[in-house]
Amino acid sequence: MDLSNLKPRIPNKKTRRLGRGTGSGRGKTAGKGHKGAGQRKGKKNPYAGHRGGNIPYIRKIPKRGFTSMHRKQYQIVNLCDIQKRLDKLSEINPESLQENNLIKDKRNPVKILAKINDDFNLKVMIKADKFSQKARDLIEKAGGKAECLSR
């Protein structure tokens, strides 16, 4: 046997004809059991969390806290990433951050954080929506400027 003799395996199964009398072995209830939602035609269960008359699990678990629908989701950029990838630029803004794959969307707000192992030594102007206080201090200590965008 070699590769030239291989053929796809075709299953040797016929589809079962259901509900065609007791002699067929799949007559009367046609393999669906007696009564209930699973026996009726149409969808077997109304939805994934259906528990057959019991209180659904999603309604049993306690609801806590509050989620604001006006919450701003900031894209986080660390100073160590800016120092590694954008050391040749004189001005850093959301467009340049997106070009260098540090953020996904330039329209969403950007926050600069001070996560860096050694000293930040780039003398650049960084434009972002928010800065942590430590990041602002490190940028200004290096001779750069941190400017907040008003959007």
pLDDT, tens only, 15-30: 888 899 989 888 998 8
pLDDT of residue 113: 96
Task: Enter the tokens of residue 148.
Answer: 């907040």
* Arithmetic mean of pLDDT over the chain: 89
What is the C-alpha separation between 75 and 30, in angstroms, rounded?
A: 57
Strand bridging mode 145-148 / 91-92: unpaired
Percent of all residues in the chain with a pLDDT value above 90, rounded to a whole number: 53
Q: How far apart are CA 47 and CA 146, in angstroms?
A: 52
Distance in angstroms (rounded) separating the CA atoms of residues 81 and 70:
29
Domains, the chain, with CATH or none: 75-148 (3.100.10.10)
pLDDT band at 84 (very low <50, low <70, confident <90, very high): very high
Residue 87: predicted pLDDT:
87
Instruction: Tell me the DSSP string of the chain.
Output: --GGG--PPPP--PPP--SS-GGGSS-TTTTS-SSSTTTSSS-SSSSTT--TTSPPHHHHSPP-S---TT---PEEEEHHHHHHH-TT-SEE-HHHHHHTTS-S-TTS-EEEE---SS------EEEESEE-HHHHHHHHHTT-EEEE---
pLDDT of the residue at 47: 78
What pLDDT band is residue 141 in, cutting at 50, 70 and 90? very high
Name, of 23-32, 42-51, 52-61, 129-138, the range with top average pLDDT: 129-138
Q: Is the pTM of this model over 0.85?
A: no
pLDDT higher than threshold 90 for residue 34: no
